[in-house]
Structure 1
Amino acid sequence: MTTQQHTIMLVDGMALLFRGFYATAFRGNAMKTPGGIPANGVYQFMRYFLDAAGKFAPTHIICCWDMGSKTFRTDLYDGYKANRSDPPEELIPQFDLVKEVMEAFDIPNIGLENFEADDCIGTLAKQYATNHDVLILTGDQDILQLVDDGISVAIMRKGIGNYERFEAHTFVAKKGIHPQQIVDLKGLMGDTSDNYPGVKGIGEKTALKLIQEYGTIDQLLENLDKLPGGIQKKIDQNMEMLHLSRTLAEIRCDLSVDCSLDDAAWHHDNRSIQGKLADLAFSNLITFVNEQGKSGVL
């Protein structure tokens, strides 16, 4: 008896919500629910989400979330993401509201204290990819390290409906390294967005060249004496941060999270969807859902 192969879309909820908020906030969008809760981020989140659900036609959908700013990474390194300001006041109530909308769509919300949404996505992706196709929807380049057989990533580009798809068989041609080597690359060059330095003085160009030549940080260190003196010195002086940065960069795929596929089935229940959108006064999205339903996309 063979297992039916499904297409499971894992949504990086934090990436879509922040993207949606800032894409609309700069226009002075003061959209609120009838109850007075700011809703511009949720509205744009839904536009992104519904477009992707229509375009990629998954059989199952799960949405993953951060569960606060404190994680095992901030325990390891105080500076991790310390360069980021607190979320805007108008965005804070939208964290709960967007999860309520997902629940109304019968889409599971997954998160685990002390870990990031990326770690939940990585864990679930590895679980499902054994027997199914997994598509990760995000705007976060860090998740590219998860690309593998059965796991592809759709990176959202500017606007709605623009995606760059990354798959295992074309990845090296696009990026110059294998997906799993991204972790080693970040260990060397650091990540200004997440605020860890890697090896001071080694930028992306040098880091990429070193990883292409030696494959991994471990193999690089085994051949340290073959490197130019200046690079040797930089690595020697930043050895602890090199290893720490690699740990910070690596998405955990061994969390105690799971979600049954029965719970994650994408039901296409337009009446339920429209009811929730009506409660939020998202009239434009109701029209969109109606049109997509008639055309068979949703």
Structure 2
Amino acid sequence: MSEQRLLLVDGMAILFRAYFATSFTGSIRRTSSGLPVNAVHGFVRYFMDAVNKFNPTHVICCWDMGSKTFRTEQYDGYKSNRPDAPEDLIPQFDLVKDVVASFNVPNVGIVGYEADDCIGTLANRFKHEAEVIVVTGDHDMLQLVDDCVSIAIMKKGIGNYMVYTPTTLLEERQLTPQQIIDMKGLMGDTSDNYPGVRGIGEKTAHKLILEHGSIDGLLANLDSVSKTVRAKIEADLEMLHLSRQLATIHCNAPLDTDMSLCGWSYDRNTVLNKFEELEFKSLVALIS
């Protein structure tokens, strides 16, 4: 096994999780000047926990860069159901990147692509040089699992992860990474707002993929499925293909990130200064 271990952090997933884990109480952590910092504060706790747990030699943090991407061009409705970010979270988008940068960790994102695509691209590029671990809350990432790439899905609370490898994915879901995409193509995704085949939910999608192996296998054997399922698929064939496209993480985004610039090592004083500025006294114990 490689001596090198690259931790790819899904920044947005963790920032949103940190925001909502603390904002439901109604009292938002602020600096003495009134700047909201609850999400950034929570982010640092999740981030340092992941670093301590997975012990990487290299770390990169990936971000979405606005809501317009090549997927919104393919399908107008893509993610159009998402509410605007809470007002208290908006100033924290830049703040959190400053904090990540203070740890000497590159912030990576490309306009027109999602963080998922950056993570997929980097995982693909560096998996021959390092063991890759992706920390996220997003189950779509399971399509990236392979012998060199593990996906650590964050569970409730800090420090709880379900780590997926090809073996655990097969055990838990009876699916291969490629079949994760085909499942989404059939059933759609309510949080990303694309429909898949109307009337086909998770259970039916799972059954069809297990029986036929893939969407292509299913379409080649439409005669063998029930009349009602067949009618649904035939009525929504175009959307089925589009949904599968929308569900696919692109692993060839134009990134020029260099692994040699991502080594996990930071200057403690730089981080302490940033913590002082944001009044994160309670987090100082997390940095050695």
Equivalent pairs: percent with the same residue?
Answer: 54
Q: Quick check: 1:189–1:204 contact (8 Å CA) kept in 2?
A: yes
Q: Could you state the TM-score of these two structures normalised by the residue count of structure 1?
A: 0.94
Corresponding position: 1:11 with 2:9? yes
Q: Quick check: 2:8–2:60 contact (8 Å CA) kept in 1?
A: yes
What is the alpha-carbon root mean square deviation over aligned residues?
1.3
Equivalent residue number for residue 51 of structure 1:
49
Q: Quick check: 1:111–1:120 contact (8 Å CA) kept in 2?
A: yes
Q: How does 1:31-46 map to 2 (within 5 A)?
A: 31-46=29-44
> 2-side partners of 1:25 and 1:89: how far apart?
12
Q: Quick check: 1:129–1:149 contact (8 Å CA) kept in 2?
A: no
How many residue pairs align between the two structures? 288
> 2-side partners of 1:56 and 1:5: how far apart?
13
> 1-side partners of 2:32 and 2:56: how far apart?
32
- 1:191 alignment partner AA: D
Equivalent residue number for residue 89 of structure 1:
87
Q: How does 1:88-167 map to 2 (within 5 A)?
A: 88-167=86-165
Equivalent residue number for residue 198 of structure 2:
200
The match for 1:62 among 60, 63, 67 is 60
> 2-side partners of 1:36 and 1:108: how far apart?
28
> 1-side partners of 2:35 and 2:76: how far apart?
33
Q: Quick check: 1:124–1:258 contact (8 Å CA) kept in 2?
A: no
Of 166-175 and 94-103, the range deviating more from structure 2: 166-175
Using the TM superposition, give the Cα deviation of residue 13 of structure 1 relative to its aligned residue in structure 2, in angstroms: 0.3
Equivalent residue number for residue 231 of structure 2:
233
> 2-side partners of 1:272 and 1:52: how far apart?
20
| 5+ long unaligned stretches in structure 1 | 294-298
- 1:64 alignment partner AA: C
Equivalent residue number for residue 296 of structure 1:
none
> 2-side partners of 1:197 and 1:23: how far apart?
29
Q: How does 1:181-200 map to 2 (within 5 A)?
A: 181-200=179-198
Using the TM superposition, give the Cα deviation of residue 269 of structure 1 relative to its aligned residue in structure 2, in angstroms: 3.2
Corresponding position: 1:170 with 2:168? yes
Q: How does 1:211-222 map to 2 (within 5 A)?
A: 211-222=209-220
Q: Quick check: 2:188–2:243 contact (8 Å CA) kept in 1?
A: yes
The match for 2:268 among 255, 270, 275 is 270
- 1:227 alignment partner AA: V
> 2-side partners of 1:135 and 1:195: how far apart?
28
> 1-side partners of 2:13 and 2:206: how far apart?
26
- 1:245 alignment partner AA: S
Q: Quick check: 2:2–2:131 contact (8 Å CA) kept in 1?
A: no
Equivalent residue number for residue 74 of structure 1:
72
- 2:149 alignment partner AA: I
Following superposition, which runs of at least 4 residues in structure 1 exceed 6 angstroms of deviation? none
Using the TM superposition, give the Cα deviation of residue 227 of structure 1 relative to its aligned residue in structure 2, in angstroms: 1.1
Q: Quick check: 1:7–1:59 contact (8 Å CA) kept in 2?
A: yes
- Cα deviation digits, residues 250-269 of structure 1 (max 9, x gap): 00001111321221100043
Q: Quick check: 1:9–1:136 contact (8 Å CA) kept in 2?
A: yes
Q: Quick check: 2:117–2:253 contact (8 Å CA) kept in 1?
A: yes
